[in-house]
Amino acid sequence: MKTKLNHPQLKIAALSAMLLGTALSVPAYAGTGSANMAVTANIGMNCTISTTDIAFGAYDPIVANASSDLDAAGSVTTTCTVGSAGSVIIGQGLGASEGSTDADPVRRMQGPGEGDYLEYQVYSNDDRSAVWTNTVATGETYTATGSAEVMPVYGRVAAGQTSVAEGSYSDTLIVTVNY
């Protein structure tokens, strides 16, 4: 007797046999393996710095400031990576006097005319006895906490500068954080 198989039926039968064989042969796992994966990161030292200006206001060399200093304050704010330490320094200014040095700055605001200067100084303490220098060795030190650290800057225009001309005076100080 001759059996005639239909070609599409042959395909269905072969596919069914394959599926049945696959379903019955589930792999069995006999053990496990493991490995370590390293996870790393690097944190570099970094700081941000911002300042609040020192605005002295009106200086009256004839009456109010003939014998009284004119004081004002500003600030330096640093935010540095935890673990960093260093110092904040303040430059001599654009109008620094002849003979002024980073270690012993003689700061002056420039006035309206050639040779018009108003002397002033910036200090790191409120009794204005410690001049804020422009040297790392004598700058104001900090140890970073990762949060903003505000350092007051105390300014003083000395009394008795009677030879200054009327007008506006200004200077620019460069403030640097070293870390």
| Contact between 167 and 112 (Cβ < 8 Å) | yes
Task: Share the mean pLDDT of the chain.
Answer: 90
Residues 6+ apart with CB under 8 A from 179: 45, 46, 47, 80, 81, 84, 85, 86, 144
Q: What is the pLDDT of residues 15-63, one digit of tens each?
A: 665 655 555 555 667 899 999 999 999 999 999 999 999 999 999 999 9
CATH 1.10.287.950 fits 47-178, yes or no: no
